[in-house]
């Protein structure tokens, strides 16, 4: 490692108020970059996983114990802006259903559990410098949660690395662009450096459930909590079975008796066919994790205050809007990668209902439709008509990539999708609440002028407007 160069990073981070834990974690990532580590995981070095415990089996054997809620904390990752969908505020403030946002549902889930079980279930939001202000202002409407500022865990920021010199990049025009988020693997140094980890342990909290704020399927489940508490595991990952549509995403594997994650960026090109074989590598990470906080503290202490996670090197320009600005590396880590660092780590197969993230406007359309319904405890669940499988929606990116484009297409109402298996839309169309799509439906408008979809039922049909 270039020690003089890292000294510059450390000085810059200390001036910005970074914690020792954040600096140690970034040093590990920088060492990996400077050493030229590729992070590639060849197929020959891993083995597929044939079998894992399943949620439906453990739910029958484990009695839910609401008393465990007093020893639990729910943490939602809330650092994203959703810029890929044209958003400029916290993604969790996006309207999902019945004028309620992600944060509305999350807050109501926590309040429901507290009131039903008369327990002080703890709740934390991990914000970034981009989402903190809007999020805390929004949460003032939920006084039952407590003062918003005491719910916040702030994500760290780390310097961007000049791709030519491997030194801290300089960009005097916009100094804030010299910094970037370090990925959700920053959860661990943030918990340690903020003092949250020690405070939770001092309060007798043992079990952390963490998930993404844009995944409303990921609520705290009492059966899972009880099963995790009764196991000898220190780290548990919820996984789902891969389908053909998941073939390009990362998967779970094992090596030398340990579980690990392999993302597409970590797969050598010649091994890509095996990587995309969903019958060989059957499970993917939902990013719903259960962690024993005392074991997390032990792991951090063992490694001198950080977890040696694999580094993800993202090549960018310092100003993402100026492709001629200096090239940089943004160093990130993924929190799920910690599965290979814990001695007693496991995984459990959960229903697809616990994985309903909104990454695109196609996902958003599904959630807004009657394919999902709101439960009494403020979860979003697939309706029975869909038989546990969400509709596969493919909206024309030229016309629906941005949320405001989708909103315009839905101004007369959201179509019925509860019996829809597949919806493909090409060209600009205008939906309404009297559209009912069943089975596999394809809509095409070859013109550039938006056309309304006539009211009525469309079943297993390809229609040109």
Q: Which two tokens stand for residue 387?
A: 């038989």
| CATH topology classification for 361-464 | UDP N-Acetylglucosamine Acyltransferase; domain 1 (2.160.10)
pLDDT tier for residue 381 given thresholds of 50, 70 and 90: confident
Q: Of 249, 281, 263, whose CA–CA distance to 47 is shortest?
A: 281
SS3 168: strand
Architecture category of domain 3-354 in CATH: Alpha-Beta Complex (3.90)
In this prediction, residues 215-229 reach a mean pLDDT of: 92
Dmax (CA) for the chain in angstroms is: 69
Residues 6 or more apart in contact with residue 305 via CB below 8 angstroms: 20, 21, 24, 189, 192
Q: Which residues make up the CATH 2.160.10.10 domain(s) of the chain?
A: 361-464
Predicted confidence at residue 248, as pLDDT, reads 85
SS3 397: helix
pLDDT digits (tens, 9 = 90+) for 314-368: 899 999 889 999 999 999 999 999 999 999 999 999 998 898 889 899 999 999 9
Predicted confidence at residue 64, as pLDDT, reads 65
Q: Which residues make up the CATH 3.90.550.10 domain(s) of the chain?
A: 3-354
Q: Which residue has the tokens 């792991």?
A: 299
Predicted confidence at residue 4, as pLDDT, reads 62
Distance CA(233)–CA(253), nearest Å, equals: 18
- The DSSP secondary structure of 256-322, one letter per residue, reads TTEEEEE-GGGS-GGGHHHHT-TTTS-EEEEEEEEEEHHHHHHHHHHTTSS--PPPEEEEEESSTT-
Q: Of how many residues is the chain composed?
A: 465
* Residue pair 171/177 in contact by the 8 Å Cβ criterion: yes
* Residue pair 299/342 in contact by the 8 Å Cβ criterion: yes
Q: Which residue has the tokens 């993917």?
A: 284
Predicted confidence at residue 227, as pLDDT, reads 93
Distance CA(306)–CA(296), nearest Å, equals: 10
């Amino acid at each position: 490692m270039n020690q003089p160069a890292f000294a510059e990073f450390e000085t810059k981070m200390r001036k910005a108020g970074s914690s020792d834990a954040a600096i140690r974690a970034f040093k590990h990532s920088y060492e990996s970059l400077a050493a030229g580590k590729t992070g590639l995981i060849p197929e020959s070095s891993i083995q597929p996983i044939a079998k894992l415990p399943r949620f439906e089996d453990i739910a029958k054997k484990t009695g839910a114990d609401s008393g465990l809620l007093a020893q639990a904390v729910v943490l939602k990752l809330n650092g994203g802006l959703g810029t890929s969908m044209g958003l400029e505020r916290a993604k969790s403030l996006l309207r999902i259903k019945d004028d309620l946002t992600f944060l509305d549902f999350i807050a109501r889930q926590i309040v429901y559990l507290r009131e039903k079980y008369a327990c002080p279930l703890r709740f934390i939001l991990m914000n970034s410098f981009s989402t903190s202000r809007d999020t805390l202002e929004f949460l003032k409407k939920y006084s039952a949660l407590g003062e918003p500022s005491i719910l916040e865990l702030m994500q760290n920021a780390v310097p961007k690395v000049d791709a030519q010199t491997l030194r801290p990049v300089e960009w005097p025009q916009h100094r804030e662009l010299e910094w970037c988020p370090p990925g959700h693997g920053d959860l661990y140094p943030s918990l340690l450096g903020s003092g949250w980890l020690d405070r939770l342990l001092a309060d007798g909290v043992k079990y952390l459930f963490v998930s993404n704020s844009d995944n409303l399927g990921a609520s705290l489940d009492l059966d899972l909590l009880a099963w995790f508490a009764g196991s000898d595991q220190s780290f548990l990952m919820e996984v789902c079975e891969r389908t053909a549509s998941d073939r390009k995403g990362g998967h779970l594997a094992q090596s030398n008796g340990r579980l690990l994650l392999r993302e597409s960026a970590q797969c050598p090109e010649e091994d890509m066919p095996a990587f995309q074989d969903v019958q060989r590598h059957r499970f993917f990470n939902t990013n719903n994790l259960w962690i024993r906080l005392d074991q997390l503290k032990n792991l951090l202490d063992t490694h001198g205050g950080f977890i040696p996670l694999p580094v993800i090197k993202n090549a960018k320009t310092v100003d993402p809007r100026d492709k001629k600005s200096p090239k940089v590396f943004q160093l990130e880590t993924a929190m799920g990668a910690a599965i290979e660092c814990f001695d007693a780590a496991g995984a459990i197969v959960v229903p697809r209902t616990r994985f309903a993230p909104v990454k695109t406007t196609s996902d958003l359309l599904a959630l807004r439709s009657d394919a999902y319904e709101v439960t009494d405890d403020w979860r979003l669940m697939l309706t029975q008509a869909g038989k546990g499988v969400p509709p596969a929606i493919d909206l024309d990116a030229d016309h629906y990539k941005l949320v405001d484009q989708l909103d315009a297409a839905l101004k007369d109402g959201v179509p019925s999708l509860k019996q829809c298996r597949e919806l493909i839309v090409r060209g600009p169309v205008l939906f309404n609440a009297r559209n009912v799509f069943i089975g596999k439906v394809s809509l095409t408008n070859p013109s550039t002028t938006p056309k309304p979809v006539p009211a009525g039922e469309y079943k297993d049909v390809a229609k040109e407007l």
